[in-house]
Structures are given as structure tokens and as C-alpha cells.
Amino acid sequence: MRVLASLVALTLLALGTSSQAQAQAPIRVTPSSRAEVQSSFSPVVKQAAPAVVNVYGKRVERRQNRYADEFFERFFGAPGQQGPRAQRSSVGSGVIVDPSGLVVTNNHVIEGMTEVRVALADRREIEAEIVLRDPRTDLAVLRLKGNNSPFPALAFGDSEALEVGDLVLAIGNPFGVGQTVTQGIVSALARTQVGISDYQFFVQTDAAINPGNSGGALVDTGARLVGINTAIFSQSGGSHGIGFAIPSSMVKLVVESARGGGRTVRRPWLGASLQAVNQEIADGMGLERPMGVLVTALNDKGPAAEAGLKRGDVVLAIDGQGVDDPEGFGYRFALKGIGGATDLTVMRGGKKQTLAVKLISPPETRPRDVVRLRGRSPLAGATAVNASPAVADEMQLDLSIDGVIVTEVEANSVASRVGFQKGDVLLAINGERVSSSKDLERITARGGMGSWEITINRGGRIFTSVLGG
């Protein structure tokens, strides 16, 4: 059973005149030592809370009605006649990180939303535009509209300097009840096996975080932003004391991209596939324990191959910072940004060496040529693009992937109901090879002959399905 020390706010009884009571009022200071933990965090809250906002997203859509049609019945239903307008909404939290009105929140808070409004701590409501979405980190950046700046903003803290046991506060809007502050400690660092986003390297805290806290602030005792609260581990939907925040180092990188006018975040490309090192691999490499990441494949024209990295190497560190799994490596590598080079510490043949890897973006070896499929085919509702190193890197696919990749599948579409998934690589339809997205568009527009034979690559497994008929 875990026992937590509670914070006790000292309250003095009002005695005598109001001036006497004022003179006897306690001086509130931020705790700076164990002995001062009986003081109050109100100075931190007063400084940080005005910059934490509520984010409201809304999307108006039409309900779909099913109708009798032999083809669409065969494929488990499809978008049909337009029905009444339905309104979907989301509620979350956000943090103002620039006095000009830049707000950072979770991408899942505003995902699919067409209208976004932000409610400030002083009860003002302001319309916001979506400046940047970054699904890979589950972050999004908004800009408050109008000429109301400067806004209260939180300064970034150094999440790299956090230690397990540090005191932190979580500020957000749980369950939509209004701004709420909870207190706890940093329970763990560098959590990588959470399964929330591509870049997993979370700060774990036991500060109470609940639905609606998404996008809210995790602050240190200096009222600095050290994380964006993004998820909880829960079997009931409420807080069990296991919450996860995106470290401020990654948040800052995304915000800087938005400040520079970017609509997306540019990240360096390694051009290599990695796997975790287990005890067997560690013994074979002469390592004292499982550490680092094993290089399992290389793109011949990628930065890793150019730097001299080889299949079977174990990468132990990036610029001296140790890595223990592919997720941790990906996070550390992404923080380096574009330009210059970074040093990898590599174990090869029982000896350590240092290799300098260039920090460049993955190339678009051919145009994406985005195709959104409609009409009467089992792929209706899917979006597909031409494969390239850039697309493969974004979608965390195999380095050797070639062909046409499904990047999106609309909910309740024919493609969704048939079972197509984001990341599927389309290889052939009705015996005809799919070499480009334009090929895909042409073949599906032509229609099938009563049935469709589609060959795909899903996670390295190639299979063919026959639909209809």
C-alpha cells in the first residue's frame, strides 16, 4: 500500500480587527525543501493557471442511411443517402505557450474537428485556428484569433532535468467541470511501452488526471511547463494514479515548427530498422546487460548507411545519451532536428566506435499523388499515396516498401467495413499490378466483374482477398 504525504494548507482564524487579521495572514511560498512541504502551492497555481485553457472542438456532419443495393449490401453497407445533420464535439485542455496566442493541446482533442474555440481562465471565449497537427506525437498547435494579445503564457521547463520523485502539478479541465489542479510526483521517466503515439517517451505521474485533462499542463514547482498530459491507465475511466505526459522537450520542438510557419514537423531520417536488445543478443555482443538497439536493416541510400552503420551493429547512445529500446532511440533522434550531424556510439565486434550521422529529412523520391477513392469499389472511403522513404518513415513501415500505401480510411466507409487499414500496401487488383496511386484510381474507377481480387502487404504479410461474387 502506497502512503503519500498530504499537503496541509495552514489557515489562521480571524482575530481582532481586519487589519490584525491581514497582518497575521500566512506568507505563501513554493516549497523548496522537504521541511517546507507543509506550505502551499498557490503561488505556482496563480502563475501557471491563467495560461491553461479549455479547448472545445465541433464538427457538423450528416448521418448516413443504408439503402438496398446489391453491391453495397455485399460489402457490408456504405455511405448512402444524406440524413439529418449531426453535431459531434470534444472537450479537452490546452496551454498557451506564447503571448501572441499560440496554444498547444493534444491532437486527439481536435482531431476531425472543423471549429475550435478556446475558453480562457478569465472566462473569455476566443475562436482558434488550427496551425499544425502532429499525429505522430499526438500534439496540435492552435492560434487564438483577434487582437487580444498579449496572453498569459507558460514558459517551458526542462523535462530532461526531471527526476523520479520531483513534485509536479497537473492543471486541466477533467470531465468538463472546470479548471482543476492536482498534485503528485514524477513516478517514472522514459516510459516507452505505452502504445499512444509513434514517439513514446512519457513522463509518468501520480497526479490525478482524468478525461478532459488531455492537452493540459504538467508543471514543476517553478511554474514551468514540463509536459502535456495526454493519457491515463485506467480500468474504470477515472484516475488510478497512472498518468502520462508528453515531455516538454518534444512539445517545444513541435511548437517551434509552428512558430516558423510549418504545417508539419520535419524530423531527421535514419534509414535503418531497429529492434530491442534482449539478454541473448547482449551475451552475443559482449554487453554486460541488455542495452541499446540492434540494427536489423538499412536503406542503402540512407544517412545511417552513408555514415558506416552496418546490420548487426548495436547503437548504445546518441550524443552520449544512452538508449534502451527503439522507441527511446526514435525520441532522442527526433529531438535533434534537421541540419548538421549527430554522433552515434556503436558496438561492433566487441569494440565501441563513434559514427556521425547526417540529420536530413527523408526524401520524397516520387510525388505522393494523393488519391481519395470514391465510387463503387471495396476501397471507397480510402486515401492512398505513392510509397517513398518519407511516407514509409512517417507511417513506420518497412524500409523496402514500394507501391501504393493506404494512409487513411474513413469511418463507416466501404473500405472500413470491408477491413482495409491504414498502412496497407496495395499490390494488385484483379490480377493487375498497382504501381502508382494513379493506377489505383484508374483500376477502381473501371469497376470489377462481379467480384474483386485484391492483394495487399500488411506488416510484411502478403495475402489476397476475394470480395463479392
Residues whose CB is less than 8 angstroms from the CB of residue 320 and which lie 6 or more positions away in sequence, other chains included: 343, 345
Catalytic residue among 39, 159, 197, 214: 214
Q: What is the dihedral of CA 17, 18, 19, 23, to 10 degrees?
A: 110
CA 216 to chain centre: 14
Catalytic residue among 108, 134, 197, 239: 108
C-alpha cell of 133?
A: 497537427
C-alpha cell of 83?
A: 440524413
What is the Rg, in whole angstroms, of the alpha carbon atoms belonging to the chain? 26
CA 416 to chain centre: 23
Cell 471495396 maps to which residue? 378
| % of residues, the chain, pLDDT over 90 | 48
Look up residue 134 and give its DSSP letter. E
Q: What is the pLDDT of residue 88?
A: 56
The amino acid at 227: G
Catalytic residue among 90, 98, 134, 138: 138
Look up residue 156 and give its DSSP letter. B
Look up residue 53 and give its DSSP letter. E
Cα–Cα distance list, 221 to 35, 188, 224 (Å): 15, 17, 7
C-alpha cell of 7?
A: 499537503
Residues whose CB is less than 8 angstroms from the CB of residue 272 and which lie 6 or more positions away in sequence, other chains included: 295, 296, 297, 298, 299, 302, 304, 305, 309, 399
Q: What is the pLDDT of residue 217?
A: 94
- Distance of alpha carbon 62 from alpha carbon 52, whole angstroms: 33
Residues whose CB is less than 8 angstroms from the CB of residue 211 and which lie 6 or more positions away in sequence, other chains included: 174, 175, 232, 237
Q: Is 261 exposed, middle or buried (0-12, 13-18, 19+ CB in 10 A)?
A: exposed
C-alpha cell of 264?
A: 508539419
Look up residue 28 and give its DSSP letter. P
Q: What is the pLDDT of residue 182?
A: 92
214 is catalytic: yes
Q: What is the pLDDT of residue 40?
A: 82
| 196 touches 138 (CB < 8 A) | yes
The amino acid at 434: V
Q: Which of 311, 316, 356, 318 is nearest to 334 (CA)?
A: 318
Give the CA angle between residues 371, 407, 367 to the nearest 5°. 55
Strand partners for 243: 205, 232
The alpha helices in 278-367, defined as continuous H runs, are: 279-285, 303-307, 326-334
108 is catalytic: yes
138 is catalytic: yes
Cell 526542462 maps to which residue? 158
Helix (H) or strand (E) holding 283: helix 279-285
Q: What is the pLDDT of residue 445?
A: 86
| 457 touches 424 (CB < 8 A) | yes
- C-alpha torsion sign, points 343, 349, 350, 351: negative
- Distance of alpha carbon 198 from alpha carbon 194, whole angstroms: 10
pTM: 0.75
- Distance of alpha carbon 305 from alpha carbon 389, whole angstroms: 14
| 257 touches 277 (CB < 8 A) | no
Look up residue 27 and give its DSSP letter. P
Ranges of the chain with pLDDT below 50: 1-25, 63-84, 469
C-alpha cell of 90?
A: 470534444
